[in-house]
Structures are given as C-alpha cells and as structure tokens.
Amino acid sequence: MRFLALPFLLGAAVAPLVAQTPPDAATLARRVDSLAADALQGGPLAGLSIVITRGDRVLLAKGYGYADLEHRIVAGPETIYEVGSTTKQFTAIAIMQLVEQGRVRLEDDISKYLPDFDTKGRKISVAQLLNHTSGLKNYTALGMQDTFRLDLSTRRMTDLIAAQPPDFAPGTDWDYTNSGFFLAGLIVEKVSGLSYAEYLKKNVFDRVGLTSTSYCDLKAIVANRAKGYAATEKGLVNADPISMTVPYAAGALCSSALDLAAYQRALVSGRIVTRASYQRMAAQAVLKDGWKTIYGLGLVNTDFAGERMVGHGGEINGFWSVLYFYPRHDLTVVLLSNVNPAGGKSLWTYGTELGMIALGTKVAPLADLPVSAALLAKAPGKYTDPAIPFELSSKNGKLFLAGLGPEPLPIKLQADGAFRADWDRFFELRLDPPPPAGGGCRLTGGGFAPLTWRCVKQ
C-alpha cells in the first residue's frame, strides 16, 4: 500500500516551450483518445476516467477500458475510484475552514489540540503537518503493509507515529509524510466534534453538491464503483485489500472525475474556503534556512514548460489519481485509474501530458550536451535524500542513474546545467546547486505532483 509520493515518477523540469495553441474539440478528443490507448496498453491498465474543463465548461469527459474486469463494466467519467493522497487537499480545506472560524491557528503547536500525542518535546505547528515539514516519519514507509488490511484503531496509529524517531527538526527540511495528515484529521475531529468523514460530508461535499465523493466505505454498496487492480508479470490481479482506517485523512476518500472537476471549480471560486485561504494553501512553504519548497498546505505549486500548476494526486492499493489545475487558463485536468502500473509511464506523467495537450503546449526535444571530464569524475557515487537512495555512474562520457529499475537509466545534460531524461520528461537533477541549498544536489521528482528533495553524496 503506497499512498505516498514516489520519487522520480514525475518532476518539475522547466522544459523549453515550443508553441501553445489550444486544440479544437475534435483534436482534443483525438489526442486524448490516443494518450488513453497508450496508457491502457503500456501500463497495463484496466480503466481510465478523464475529465478536462476550462472554467465552467467541460471540454472532455470520457472513460476508457473497464471499471470492473470480471463483469466487463466499462469505465466512464462518473465511475468512482479511491483517490489516495488527493484526499490531502480536502484535509487542508477542513483545517482552513476552522482557521477562518477562529477555532484553529496554523501557527499553533499541535499539542494544543492533541495533548496526548507525544511530540518528544518538539514544537510542531499545524501548518507543518500540512506542508510536510514536521519531521514526522512517514508511517506508510515502515514496512507494515501486511497489517494495513486490518481495521487499526486511531490510538494504535497515533502511538505508531509517535514512537518513530523524527527525520529532522520541524521546519528544517522537507519530506513527504502521511503522518502529518493523519494527525491533521484528528485535529479536525477534536475541534469540530464531528468525525472526519462527517465533517467533510457536511462542510465540503454537501455544500457544493459533490454527490459521488465520500469517505470510502468498503462495506457499502456504491453504484459505479470501480474495482482496484495491480499489475504483475502475469497480468492484472485484484489489488491487496487495505482498511480505510489506515489512510484516514491522508488518503481515504473516493470520488469520480466529474465530481473532482466540479470540486476544483468550487475551490478556486471561493465556495469552499475563501480565496485568501486557497492562496494560503497554494503558497510554497519556506524552510528556516530559506529553502523554498514547492508544496503548500495540501497542494503542490510548481511550473512545467512555463505553465503554473497547482494540484495533487494520489496512489493507494489498486488506484491512481491526478487533479491538476492551471490557474492562468482556468484549466482543470482529472485522470483516475483503477490500476497501479508496474511499468511504463506513471499516471502522473500522463496527467501532465493531458495538461500539455489541453493547453496546446509542445515541449522541445532534450539536448544532450557533452559532460565535462571533471564532472564525469566527480559525480559518480551513491546519494541520499529523505525519500530514496540512488546512484550515479558514468559510461562512454554519459551519466546514468540507478535505483529506479533493474538497469541504470541515462540522463542528459541541458544548457541550464540540469540533467533531464527522455524516460521521464519531468525528472530533473541538479548537482551542486547554489545557496540556500548548500552542497550536494537537488533532485526533482515525486509522485502525485512535482516534488523536490535535497540530496547529498555519501
């Protein structure tokens, strides 16, 4: 079970922009159909649901493949999927609503709301739970997946989180962690007097008419619900079960592509939180040493090919989700799937490509500049970052990156000094970046949206 960011699958490389002419309806449909066919074959995937909107206008709403393979039920834009970490922005919204009411302050120490949670003397703010700067170790990365099919109690989960040594002092670094959002959900419950599921239904879903969005109830009979699958060497199989008590406020919502597009419109229109609160959610967090992250409060805010994107995505057993918003064009892209692909492109990469299609943006081919002898001698070695170790090697005057698959993958030097890759156009590696990063390197990658880590050569 992985409802956490996976490094290297998608990044924020600022690739050169070639042209931008939004396609007409027929061209958009044709290009999206082609991308969906590629995704279904290359995943392999079972089903996809795609919705693209501009303002209040739906440009495309289609399903591809199957929501249920055994019963051959086709996927559509109304098909309901588990959305994993796309849940996080809903948790941030709940906190921001309580902030607007004066019942929570983002700067408050979480001990004010969760006095029984052992912070080991560290002062962790509410905001740090939501922007991944708390230093709390990610509980989904502890190798306990075999227990996640059990209905683990809130107390057991919080004790598990509290027992872990911190990854860093609050506010001094950034690392994606579901633990912060689990605790944020408890704050919502403590302050509101409602369960997390009840709070969202009353204050978000019902408020803006999201009829296909809910806290996932695996026992309930839900019309149009997709079944989740996993890709193996022998083909697709049913995904491993996971109790919704485990992802909770970090990843336990279900929704449809049509509902998520409607939600996005309501969010940016000030109908769920104020526009000022939304801007606060989208504002990039800054660490104590000046390092600027690209993550706000439950939202990523970054650029690709000269276009600003604000959004999130998610992955949980059997399901992937993408919800990207391009503010300058009032463009929303939703992509949902009921398979965790084993190979090929990630769904987050496809989600970004959908955005480029809808914007009419073409990205220039990568350069492949000569790497200096000094860098070829200096760069190879093992590196660490808060998410995953990797290794650089050199061969025939080129650099290769190992740690993503069975074979080292080539990376290409660009004119701006960054290394990027044809195997994922959204990967970026910068060696020896300038202050405030210090020495070492900066790696942009991620899962649900572009995320950036500091890395250090061992």
Residue at which a domain ends, from 315, 330, 363: 363
Q: Are residues 84 and 165 in the same domain?
A: yes
3-class DSSP state of 340: strand
Q: What is the tally of structural domains in the chain?
A: 2
Alpha helices in 165-303 (DSSP H): 178-192, 196-200, 257-268, 275-282
Does residue 249 carry a pLDDT above 60?
yes
pLDDT digit string, tens, across residues 210-248? 999 999 999 999 999 999 999 888 889 999 999 999 999
Q: Are residues 73 and 205 in the same domain?
A: yes
Residue at which a domain ends, from 337, 363, 389: 363
Q: Are residues 389 and 273 in the same domain?
A: no
Q: Are residues 286 and 193 in the same domain?
A: yes
pLDDT value of position 228: 97
Q: Which residue, 260, 214, 215, 226, is CA-closest to 76?
A: 226
**Does 1 reside within a domain?**
no
Residues 6 or more apart whose Cβ sits within 8 Å of residue 383: 389, 390, 391, 392, 440, 441, 443, 455, 456, 457, 458
Which residues, in sequence order, are bridge partners of residue 336?
Answer: 49, 321
Average pLDDT over residues 435-451: 58
Does residue 298 carry a pLDDT above 50?
yes
Mean pLDDT across the chain, nearest whole number? 88
CB neighbourhood size of 268 (10 A): 18
Pairing of strands 229-232, 339-340: parallel
Contact (Cβ atoms closer than 8 angstroms) between residue 425 and residue 418 = no
pLDDT value of position 403: 73
Q: Are residues 200 and 264 in the same domain?
A: yes
pLDDT value of position 12: 37
Does residue 320 carry a pLDDT above 90?
yes
Longest dimension (CA), the chain: 63
Q: Are residues 350 and 430 in the same domain?
A: no
Average pLDDT over residues 253-265: 98
Q: Are residues 357 and 381 in the same domain?
A: no
pLDDT value of position 405: 62
Does residue 440 carry a pLDDT above 80?
no
* End-to-end Cα separation, the chain, in angstroms: 29
Query: What is the phi/psi pair of residue 454, to 5°?
Result: -85, 140
For residue 4, name the pLDDT band (cuts at 50, 70, 90): very low
Q: What percent of the chain has pLDDT over 70?
A: 89
Tokens 């931008």, residue located: 20
Which residues, in sequence order, are bridge partners of residue 320?
Answer: 315, 337
- Lowest pLDDT segment from 52-61, 230-239, 290-299, 438-447: 438-447
Domain of 355: which CATH number?
Answer: 3.40.710.10
DSSP 8-state class, residue 285: P
3-class DSSP state of 283: coil
Q: Are residues 270 and 162 in the same domain?
A: yes
Which residues, in sequence order, are bridge partners of residue 455?
Answer: 441
**Does 14 reside within a domain?**
no
Range of the domain at 330: 19-363
**Does 339 reside within a domain?**
yes
Model confidence, pTM: 0.88
Contact (Cβ atoms closer than 8 angstroms) between residue 32 and residue 320 = no
CA distance 332 to 58: 9
**Does 6 reside within a domain?**
no
Q: Are residues 84 and 223 in the same domain?
A: yes
Q: Are residues 240 and 297 in the same domain?
A: yes
pLDDT digit string, tens, across residues 328-376? 999 999 999 999 776 667 788 888 899 999 999 877 788 999 999 999 9
